[in-house]
Amino acid sequence: MSLLEYQYFPVTRPNKGAGGRTGAWRIVKPVVDYNKCIGCKVCFMFCPESTIVPSNGKVRVDYEYCKGCGVCANVCPVKAISMVNEQ
C-alpha cells in the first residue's frame, strides 16, 4: 500500500529498549557465581526485564537493560547471584 507523505499512524514496532537503556542510574548489578549456579533458571523466570538470558545451560545477564532490582538474587535457591555496587 502506498501511503501519502502526510499520513502518519500511531503504530509502533516491538523493539528492545523502547523504554530506554538503563544507563547510569542503576545502583547495584547482579553478578552470577557460575561455580554456585545450578542452571535451574528460576531467576530467568522471575526477571521482570527479560535481562536474564539462558546461556550454555546456565544464565547470563544483559547489563545494557538490567535495572538492578535484585529479584534474581532473592529468588535464587542456591544464592549464586550477588548484588554488587556499580562503580
Partner 1 sequence: MIRKIISGNEAVALGVKLARVGVTGIYPITPQTTIIEKLAEMRAKGEIETEIVRVESEHSAMAATFGAALGGVRAFTATASQGLLYMHEMIWWVAGSRVPVVMVVGTRAVGAPWNIWNEHTDFTSERDSGWIMAFASNPQEALDLTLQAFRISEDERVFLPMMVGMDGFILSHTKTNVLIPDQDQVDEFLPPRRQPYVIDPEDPIGMGNIFPPEGYMRLRESIDLALRNSENIIKEIGREYNKKINPLGDYSTLNVSYKLEDADYAIVLMGAWAGDAMEAVDTLREKGIKIGMLRIRYLRPWSEKEIRNALKDKRAVLVLDRSTSFGRGGGPLYVEVKSTISDIVPQVKGVVSGLGGVTVNKSELLYIFNKFVEGLKDDVIWYYPKEVGKIEFRTPRDIE
Partner 2 sequence: MSLGLREILNKHNGILSGTSACPGCPENMAMRMLGMGLGKDMVLVVVAGCSSVIQGNAPYNAYNLPTVNVAFAAGPATAAGLARAYKQRGKNVTVVVWAGDGGSADIGFASLSGAAERNDNILYLTVDNEAYMNSGGQRSGSTPFGAITTTTPEGKKENKKNLPLLMIAHNVPYVATASVGYPHDYIEKLKKAKQVEGFKYIHVLTPDPYGWLFDPSKTAEVAKLAVQTCYWPLFEYYNGKLSISSESLHCLDRRTRRPIRDFLSVQGRFKRLTEDQIKILEQYIDNVWEKLKSMLDNQ
Residues near partner 1, by CB under 8 A: 1-4, 6-14, 18
* Closer of 37 and 62 to partner 2 (Cβ): 62
Q: How far is the CB of 14 from partner 2 (least distance, A)?
A: 5
Pick the closer one to partner 1 by CB: 13 or 77.
Answer: 13
Instruction: Give yes or no for residue 54 binding partner 2 (CB under 8 A).
Output: yes
Instruction: Round to whole Å and give the CA distance between 87 and 13.
Output: 34
Give the residue from 81, 66, 82 showing the smallest Cα distance to 26. Answer: 66
> Among the residues of 17-68, which ranges form H helices?
42-46
